[in-house]
Amino acid sequence: MCDLLAAPERTVINNPAPRFSWIVNDAAPQARQNAYQILVRTTAAPPGDDGGVWNSTRIASADSVAAPYAGTPLAPHTTYAWQVRTWNDRDEPSPWSDWQEFRTGALKGPPTFARYPVVQTEVPPRRIVPRAPGHVFLDFGRAAFATLRVTLESPADGIAVTVHLGETLAAPDVVNRQPAGTIRYRRATLTLRQGRHPYTLAIPPDARNTGPAAVLMPKHIGEVLPFRYAELEGLPGPLAADDVRQLAAHYPFDDRAAQFSSDSDVLNAAWELCRYSVKATSFCGVYVDGDRERIPYTADAYLNQLSHYAVDREFTLARVSAAACIATPTWPTEWILHAPLMAWADYLHTGNPDLIHRLYADLEASTLCALRRADGLISTRTGLVTDALIQGIHMEHAPRPLEDIVDWPPAAFTDGGQGERDGYDMVAINTVVNAFHYRALVLMARMAAAIHRGDDAARFHALATATASSINRVLFDAARGVYVDGEGSSHSALHANLFPLAFGLVPPEHLPGVLAFIQSRGMACSVYAAQYLLEALYRAGADRDALELMTATHDRSWWNMLAVGSTVTLEAWDIRYKKNLDWNHAWGAAPANIIPRFVVGIRPLDPGFARVLIQPQPGGLRRAALTLPTIRGPIRVRFESAPEHFELELELPANVTARVILPPRFRTPARAWLDNHPRPDAVTPEGVVFEAIGSGPHTVRSAGGAS
């Protein structure tokens, strides 16, 4: 990869000092890199010379991600090629890699984050159903942001073919022409010419999602509409399957990069729904909220980012989206506080600190420290929202002021309902807002340390500690054992408890009451807050509760999204919970990242996946298998869970080590094996723990008395 691009030749790089990453291609067990050498040339020449533009010579380092260019200044509008070789821990050199080309842009002004152009995929119809003479129905299997291309034979000029496109059906094989909410339907006309010709339908633009705040479609793609179904009326002759295609727009995506299966058909279906949703909603080349507005919202983008990392080895769209969200923020207080979360996730998954370096001042402003009162709690309603703060977070031209959101939608969007805030008391000192403030400070401390700003790291750590202390002193009701919605409130919503638990704010002595309250509320939150609810449950060890929520089949579930007919995650659980919902919102795709990170349990311990944690939390699952794409290569895990044993097979790429923790389900004395060798040292007070497992295939197993 060059600047996180696996195919940099598809675009240009406007960075005078790009960073290089590679997968160490060594199948030997425990394979580790201990040195590397990079050559950069203007043309791909044999590897035996000095490299032309830059010869790094041998660099003693295990780093295989984000190695910085350090040669002579790159020229603008020039094609370069680079290659790399590595040395293993036996000091044996690898062959040179193939050359990889990259092109520079103008190289003027501040560096920009590289990204690919949006592409189109031709999707054939799954079904063609004749409805009447000259009238056919088409089902493309899945909704996509697309247009329609059709090749037709016409006996004369001027024949009009009416096209109906939609996401849902009114009856079998009938496109719904009056769908509810913001579910999409569009009618258009093709005017034919005599003879046989291909036609690409021009989608009429929607004023709401093509306005000044919206991300416009690239000109080489044109306007699109999310649709699965089409009807064509007025055809002058028959239509063959080869004559019609859905032209689906999306960011480049490898459908083979990630796989998941388990013994739960419901969980498998939820994962596939969410995996595809990430691809389908990437159509703008920036993470957006769906089709209604096509605006980058930071919370939407963060959830999209986490899921994108889990289903494809792709990092540039998340980085571009983070920069866009910071530059054009939206009104919710917690959305501003999501910016450090996006930046940390970028660094954790790539090992590349460029986003932190370039946007450090913006990230610091996004912690909203300017709103702190003496005890470290923040509020947008205590007179501290100054012009300087608004300018620091780039909200000078925002259409509405900074305002707490907690969850979405409120009751106003639900006919006769209560909204998705669980009756939250929206007081000035808001528990959810302050939990996000704490989390932003924790991550700013880590990011400051990562780019060697030690004084800042200590300052942010101290601020986070003070905020945590005040949250637990001011916002916790010790008599009931739960957090209240805010200072002075006596109400405790699910949200006031799930966010502190998800963000590590709940001390051990508070955990039983907080967890019991969260478990009692079920899915009393939106598809957005479900991300954090599931994280909270898994971090508290309540994996059975979390799995039950992900595999539920009632109307507040991912199964329901499929049951109502969608193939992309919905904006809300159902139309009854948001009367203007759309059917193409990736912030509803939490299982795409929750399953790899918590059910199978693969999470990076070091930035760039140099060390990983593998800690499966199977809940009631008996079997599961996952391939997770990472910047260092795919990680494969399969587990089998039974009352009398737990067995896990894993395969790690070279230059990666893992800490493996098996589920704590056996009474001591438990027994442990690594690659069929007894490992009594792995039985610890924490459970069965294997440290520093190296690359290659391994089997770990534990057994003992069932608890």
Rounded Cα distance between 285 and 118, Å, is 6
**Residue 474 three-state SS:** helix
HSE of 405, CA atoms in CB hemisphere, 13 A? 23
What is the CATH code of the structural domain delimited by 604-706?
A: 2.60.420.10
CATH topology of domain 119-250: Jelly Rolls (2.60.120)
Q: For the segment 43-74, what is each residue's pLDDT rounded down to a tens digit?
A: 756 655 555 899 999 999 999 999 999 999 99
Judged against a pLDDT cut of 60, whether residue 199 lies above it is answered with yes
Which pLDDT does position 667 carry in this prediction?
A: 57
Q: Is the peptide bond before 218 cis (omega within 30 degrees of 0)?
A: no
Q: Which residue has the tokens 């942010």?
A: 460
The whole-angstrom separation of Cα 210 and Cα 293 is: 8
Asked if 238 and 122 touch (Cβ cutoff 8 Å), the reply is no
How far CA 388 is from CA of 46, 395, 396, in Å, comes to 56, 10, 10
Mean pLDDT of 496-507: 98
Helix (H) or strand (E) holding 36: strand 33-41
Chain region(s) in the chain for CATH 1.50.10.10: 282-599
Q: What is the C-alpha to C-alpha distance for residues 665 and 600, in angstroms, rounded to an integer?
A: 16
d(CA 124, CA 241): 7
Ranges in the chain annotated CATH 2.60.420.10: 604-706
Q: Helices 298-311 and 265-280 sit at what angle, rounded to 10 degrees?
A: 110
Angle at CA 21, nearest 5°, toward 90 and 67? 85
pLDDT tens digits along 415-456: 777 899 999 999 999 999 999 999 999 999 999 999 999 999
Give the per-residue SS3 of 485-553.
Answer: CECCCCCCCHHHHHHHHHCCCCCHHHHHHHHHHHHHHCCCCCHHHHHHHHHHHHHCCCHHHHHHHHCCC
Q: Is the pLDDT of residue 616 over 80?
A: yes
Q: What is the pLDDT of residue 398?
A: 84
* Side chain identity at residue 251, one-letter code: Y
Alpha-carbon distance 345 to 504, whole Å?
A: 17
Q: By C-alpha distance, which of 108, 7, 111 is closest to 69?
A: 111
Q: Contact, 339 vs 318, CB < 8 A?
A: no
pLDDT at 706: 47
524 CA to centre of own chain = 23
Q: Is residue 707's pLDDT more than 50? A: no
Reported as type and span, the H/E element at residue 248 is strand 244-250
Helix pair 333-350, 316-327: axis angle to 10 deg:
150
Cα distances (angstroms) measured from residue 203 to each of 198, 263, 317: 16, 42, 25
At 371-394, the pLDDT tens digits run 999 999 999 999 999 999 999 999
Residue ranges, comma separated, of all CATH 2.60.40.10 domains in the chain are: 1-114
Q: Name residue, tokens 């109307």.
A: 555
SS3 175: strand
**CA distance linking residue 277 with residue 288, whole number of Å:** 12
CA distances (Å), origin 8, targets 83, 255, 319: 13, 19, 15
- Tell me, what's the pLDDT at 478? 97
Reduced to 3 states, what is the DSSP secondary structure of residue 232?
Answer: strand
For 569, counting Cβ atoms within 10 Å of its Cβ (0-12 exposed, 13-18 middle, 19+ buried), the class is: buried
457-498: per-residue pLDDT in tens?
Answer: 999 999 999 999 999 999 999 999 999 999 999 999 999 999
What's the CATH number of domain 1-114, 2.30.110.10, 3.20.20.140, 2.60.40.10, 2.40.50.140? 2.60.40.10
The residue assigned the tokens 């998941």 is: 260
| Count of helices and strands (H, E) across the chain | 15, 30
- The Cα 48–Cα 673 span in angstroms is 47
Prediction pTM value: 0.96
Judge contact between 454 and 447, C-beta under 8 A.
no
Please give the Cα distance from 216 to 284 (Å, whole number). 7
Q: Give tens-digit pLDDT for 306-352.
A: 999 999 999 999 999 999 999 999 999 999 999 999 999 999 999 99
pLDDT value, residue 45: 60
Report residue 542 CA to chain centroid gap.
23
* Domain 282-599 top-level CATH class: mainly alpha
pLDDT tens for residues 660-690? 999 986 656 789 999 999 999 999 888 899 9
State the amino acid at position 89 in one-letter form: D
End-to-end CA distance of the chain: 47
Residue 616 · residue 687 · CB < 8 Å = no
The segment(s) of the chain belonging to CATH 2.60.120.260 are 119-250
- In sequence order, the β-bridge partners of residue 119 are 250
Phi/psi of residue 250, nearest 5 degrees: -165, 165
Tokens of 607: 């930035």
Sort 284 into a burial class: Cβ within 10 Å, 0-12 / 13-18 / 19+.
Answer: buried
Question: What φ, ψ does residue 430 adopt, rounded to 5°?
Answer: -100, 125
Residue 403, token pair as written in the block: 């305002």
Distance CA 2, CA 440 (A): 29
Tens-digit pLDDT profile for residues 519-544: 999 999 999 999 999 999 999 999 99
